[in-house]
Chains A and B, each alone.
Chain A
Amino acid sequence: MTNNGWTPDQPLVSIKDVYKSFGELEVLKGVSLDIMQGEVICIIGPSGSGKSTLIRCVNALNTINSGSITVEGQEVHDPGLDKLELRKKVGMVFQQYNLFPHKTALENIMMAPIKVLKQSEGEVEERARKLIKRVNLVGKEDSYPGELSGGQQQRVAIARSLAMNPDVMLFDEVTAALDPETVNEVLLAIKDLAKDGMTCILVTHEMGFAREVADHIYFTDRGIIVEHGPPATFFKEAKDPRTQEFLSQIL
């Protein structure tokens, strides 16, 4: 992928005036936001406000109708785009973990680096074991996803994405399907990542977490960004009535 003259002082991900509809249903109606390298942003908002659709557009799992999304200067919705090259740079973790059920935790992490990056098995395994340690799952290397709890599976999923050494990570409501007592272990893993300077885009309902890790918070409703700001001011001084209503219900 050519970097189109992209330099780290420009936004790593830049979303400009994006429109997206599924048939008649308009999901995104002119969304724009920029994420700088090393930045962590949280997108919050009621269900159906287009949050997940937006981040799925960033790694081309969904297409957009108009507007532009660039990752490191490369237009994502260029029909000639090499999707595989894009996805090497953009990691994604899903609400339902989506691990490969026929592979052990370690094999889940190792598969893509071996098949996609064509790295040697020994090298990849060494890295995978380090990642297992990093997400605090030592001893679970040979467990199958079906033998792990939701929180453990989600941490394997995070490690699986990290194994590709992405430049930006997308988190799509990664704690929404978890038991309350396992939410924390997953959030800790993400917090750890953010601290290490990974660029992260999170769609989340965990307001406490968003306040703690995010550099910037975006509130979406009915396909537009209603309000945004750094957490310190966002939570205290929300101006828009829709934001105030949402926050009063959730906090």
Chain B
Amino acid sequence: MNSFQQFFYDLAQTHVKWNFIFFYEPLQFERLLTGLWVTVQLSVVCVILSVIIGLGGAWLQKSPYKAVRYLVQGYIQFFRNTPPLVQLLFFYFALGQFTPTYSPDGWLEIPIISNIGWAIISMSFFAGAFNVEIFRAGIESVPTSTQEASEALGMSHFQTFIYVTMPLAFRVSLPALNNNLVNLIKTTTQAIAIAVPELLYQMVSIYNDYSTAQNAAMVILFFAYIGMVGVLVFGMNRWERQMRIPGYGN
């Protein structure tokens, strides 16, 4: 045992309610790391997918076809007006029943979409619904005349969207997007409900096994999320500053 481990081991002996067991028992430490890693993966994948869904939805909302616009609107209303936890349970337990399965050993039936898969799908669509609205607000801030100038130069609607509208809209959307992505990272904890081995799941498992570790686990949870969200916010703020256009806006 190194001095770091020794310190927490001694602490647990003298202060029974502060058992940071995962800092001196390798097996528990591994659970903590696994939890962190799964949470990071889940967050990164959901952030990326939700932004793609947001951009796609915002593009479709400009569609000349009413049916397409209604469809996007329906999607937004559904995912924005229902609790994310209910969505998660619905995806996993309701839709999960209908997903095809495969059987590598001819015995066990494994669904092709795992619980992690469902968590990613559910939470990406949840945050994506908000992102569509966030990008739409940004798009509406871009003057029609600027888009007209682009089209007068022979650019297609799509080129105008990609090269003119979106770069300007994105800058306006960033602060709101930042907030929504922070919420998304925190929402990943709800994946515990379908046993995704993310950080909260691991920490709860640890203190279910070692009840003296409860306080310690809570402290670690708080610091871990402050850290992860902090990294996101730091990155987003830097990005926002880098994208600032000289002489434009503020």
Contacts and interface: CB of A to CB of B under 8 A. Distances in A.
Contact of B245 (A61, A90, A101, A116): A101
A116 B164 CA distance: 14
A164 B153 contact: yes
B154 interface: yes
Contact of A116 (B143, B148, B154, B248): B154
Interface residues of B, number: 22
B92 to A, nearest CB: 42
B148 A61 contact: yes
A230 to B, nearest CB: 29
A115 B159 contact: yes
Interface in A141-160: 143-148, 157, 160
Contacts of A144: 245-248
A92 B152 contact: yes
A88 interface: yes
A194 interface: no
B246 A160 contact: no
B153 A145 contact: no
Contact of B151 (A87, A96, A117, A145): A87
Given A111-B163, A146-B246, A101 B168 contact: yes
A116 B159 contact: yes
Contact of A112 (B143, B155, B168, B248): B155
B153 A160 contact: yes
A94 B248 CA distance: 19
B156 interface: yes
A236 interface: no
A61 B149 CA distance: 10
B248 A100 contact: no
A87 B152 contact: yes
B153 A87 contact: yes
B154 A88 contact: yes
Given A84-B154, A92-B152, A111-B163, A98 B145 contact: yes
Contacts of B212: none
A61 B153 contact: no
B167 interface: yes
Contacts of A161: 153
Contacts of B245: 101-102, 144, 146
A146 B248 contact: yes
Interface string B159-173: 100011001100100
B146 A146 contact: no
Nearest to B148: A61
B155 A98 contact: no
A1 to B, nearest CB: 12
B87 interface: no
Contacts of A91: 152-153
Interface in B230-245: 245
Most buried by B among A98, A99, A117, A161: A98
Interface in A67-96: 83-84, 87-88, 90-92, 94, 96
Nearest to A92: B152
Contacts of A101: 146, 168, 245, 248
Contact of A147 (B145, B150, B246): B246
Contact of B155 (A94, A115, A147): A115
A59 interface: yes
A144 B152 CA distance: 21
A44 B167 CA distance: 37
Given A87-B153, A100-B150, 14 more contacts: A61-B152, A84-B154, A87-B151, A94-B145, A96-B145, A101-B245, A102-B167, A111-B155, A112-B154, A116-B153, A116-B154, A116-B155, A144-B246, A144-B248
- What 4 pairs between A and B have smallest CB-CB spacing? A146-B247, A98-B149, A112-B153, A87-B154
Interface of A: 59, 61, 83-84, 87-88, 90-92, 94, 96, 98-102, 111-112, 115-117, 143-148, 157, 160-161, 164
